[in-house]
Amino acid sequence: AQSVTQPDIHITVSEGASLELRCNYSYGATPYLFWYVQSPGQGLQLLLKYFSGDTLVQGIKGFEAEFKRSQSSFNLRKPSVHWSDAAEYFCAVVISGGYNKLIFGAGTRLAVHP
């Protein structure tokens, strides 16, 4: 069955430090992959998406993610974290069927130290 794993439940980084959030997927065909961010008390916001082509995708707020088929991974990165990046981050994959049935990972909570 299709699944998404985010191995890190909670990550803490210092402001200005680099960030990498891990995401692994289990899906037979070429996946459609996404990263979302959820700020406290808010809905989800799409950061970036990957369908095909260049395996390094750029998103909003200075985030990028790299698709590595050999590792079944789609890790999210940011070179310099800002305090406002503290939030919950979700990786997701769309499974086949023609409709947008997103399967979400369990999320990674990011805390940023000043």
Partner 1 sequence: DTAVSQTPKYLVTQMGNDKSIKCEQNLGHDTMYWYKQDSKKFLKIMFSYNNKELIINETVPNRFSPKSPDKAHLNLHINSLELGDSAVYFCASSQVGRENPPLHFGNGTRLTVT
The verdict on 12 binding partner 1 (CB under 8 A) reads no
| One character per residue 74-93, x = contact with partner 1 (rule: CB under 8 A) | --------------x-x-x-
Q: Which of 12-20, 44-52, 55-63, 69-77 is the region at the interface with partner 1 (rule: CB under 8 A)? A: 44-52
The verdict on 53 binding partner 1 (CB under 8 A) reads no
The verdict on 106 binding partner 1 (CB under 8 A) reads yes
Residue 17 or 60: the one with the smaller Cβ distance to partner 1 is 60
- Name 33's Cβ contacts closer than 8 Å, sequence gap at least 6: 23, 25, 49, 50, 65, 67, 74, 91, 92, 93
Q: In this chain, which of 24, 32, 62, 72 binds partner 1, going by CB under 8 A?
A: 32
For the chain, give the longest Cα–Cα distance. 45
Cα 44 to Cα 1, 28, 104, 105: the distances in Å are 24, 26, 12, 13
Residue ranges that bind partner 1, judged by CB under 8 A: 32, 34, 38, 41-46, 49, 51, 88, 90, 92, 94, 96, 98-102, 104, 106-107, 109
